[in-house]
């Protein structure tokens, strides 16, 4: 399957290694960062903002952005 990036939003979830390669493939197809949505659930443990396991910089993945665009993910990566 080769989806067109025109008027399309791609949503990914699953194991981090699969997401990594899916993001790369979507970029090669021409998807804009804002039109790729993904999850960061692997970082979470309690999912209610108590354990602190999921923090990236000053934010918590579970409370602030469990689902984000690839553009947001790139910004978060700068805080890792
Ligand atoms: S998963 Fe525990 S604080 Fe986010």
| Ligand 1 pocket member 42 (CB < 6 A) | no
> 76, 67, 70: which is closest to 34 by C-alpha?
70
pTM of the model: 0.82
Who's near 47: CB < 8 A, 6+ residues apart? 62, 66
pLDDT at 79 over 80: no
From the CA of 62, give the closest atom in ligand 1: 4
14-25: per-residue pLDDT in tens?
Answer: 898 999 999 999
Answer whether 36's CB lies under 8 Å from 23's CB.
yes
Q: How many angstroms does the Cα of residue 62 sit away from the middle of ligand 1?
A: 5
Locate all alpha helices (DSSP H) within 1-80, ordered by sequence: 16-29, 61-64, 70-77
| Ligand 1 pocket member 49 (CB < 6 A) | yes
Residue 51: per-residue pLDDT:
96
Position with higher pLDDT, 1 vs 49? 49
- Chain-wide mean pLDDT for the chain? 91
């Amino acid at each position: 399957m080769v989806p067109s990036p025109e008027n399309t939003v791609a949503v990914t979830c699953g194991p981090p290694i699969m997401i990594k390669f899916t993001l790369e493939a979507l970029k090669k197809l021409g998807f804009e960062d804002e039109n790729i949505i993904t999850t960061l659930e692997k970082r979470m443990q309690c999912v209610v903002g108590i354990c602190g396991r999921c923090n990236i910089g000053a934010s918590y993945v579970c409370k602030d952005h469990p689902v984000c665009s690839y553009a947001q993910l790139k910004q978060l990566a700068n805080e890792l």
